[in-house]
Structure 1
Amino acid sequence: MNTLDDFFQTQPPSASRPLLGLTVLAVEDSRFACEAIRLMCVRSGARIRRADCIASARRHLRVYRPAVAIVDMGLPDGSGAELIADLCHGAAQSPVVLGTSGDGDLEQAAMAAGANGFLHKPMTSIAAFQAEILRHMPRDRRPNAPRPADTTQVSPDRIAFQDDLSAALAALDGQTGDAHQVAYVANFVLGIARCALDADLFAAARAASFDPARPGPAAAMLDLIRTRAQHKIAV
Structure 2
Amino acid sequence: MQLRPPNADQPLLGLTILLVEDSRFAAEGFRLLALRSGARLRRADSLAHARRHLCVYRPTVVMVDLGLPDGSGAQLITELAQARPRIDMILGVSADPEAEQIARAAGADGFLEKPITSLASFQTEVLRHLPPERQPTGPRSLPRGMVEPDRIALRDDLAHAAEVLKSDAEGEELDYVTQFLASVARSAGDTRLSEAVDRLADARTKGEVLGAHVSELSAMVDRRLAPSAPLT
Tell me whether the two structures share a fold, i.e. TM-score over 0.5.
yes
Secondary structure, in 3 states, of the residue corresponding to 2:10?
coil
Between the two proteins, the alignment pairs up a number of residues equal to 226
- Structure 1 residues 163 and 77 mapped into 2: Cα distance closer, same or farther (>3 Å)? same
After superposition, the C-alpha distances for 1:85-106 in whole angstroms (9 at most, x for unaligned) are: 1111124631111111111111
2:223 and 2:229 in contact (8 A); partners too: no
- Structure 1 residues 27 and 98 mapped into 2: Cα distance closer, same or farther (>3 Å)? same
1:124 and 1:155 in contact (8 A); partners too: yes
1:164 aligns with 2:160: no
Aligned counterpart, 1:153: 146
Moved more, 83-92 or 19-28: 83-92
Aligned counterpart, 2:27: 34
Q: What TM-score, normalized by structure 2, do the two folds share?
A: 0.93
Q: Give distance in 2, aligned partners of 1:151 and 1:42.
A: 15
4+ long deviations beyond 6 Å? none
Aligned counterpart, 2:219: 223
1:109 aligns with 2:105: no
Aligned counterpart, 1:210: 202
Secondary structure, in 3 states, of the residue corresponding to 2:25?
helix
Aligned counterpart, 1:182: 174
Q: Give distance in 2, aligned partners of 1:231 and 1:33.
A: 22
Superposed, which structure 2 residues align to 1:37-56 within 5 Å? Answer: 37-56=30-49
Residue 59 of structure 1, aligned match among 43, 52, 63: 52
Gaps of 5+ in 2: none
Q: Give distance in 1, aligned partners of 2:85 and 2:125.
A: 21
**One-letter amino acid of the counterpart of residue 110, structure 2:** G
Aligned counterpart, 1:143: 136
- Structure 1 residues 233 and 148 mapped into 2: Cα distance closer, same or farther (>3 Å)? farther
Gaps of 5+ in 1: 1-7
**One-letter amino acid of the counterpart of residue 216, structure 2:** A
Q: What TM-score, normalized by structure 1, do the two folds share?
A: 0.92
Residue 122 of structure 1, aligned match among 100, 115, 118: 115
Secondary structure, in 3 states, of the residue corresponding to 2:91?
strand
Q: Percent identity?
A: 46
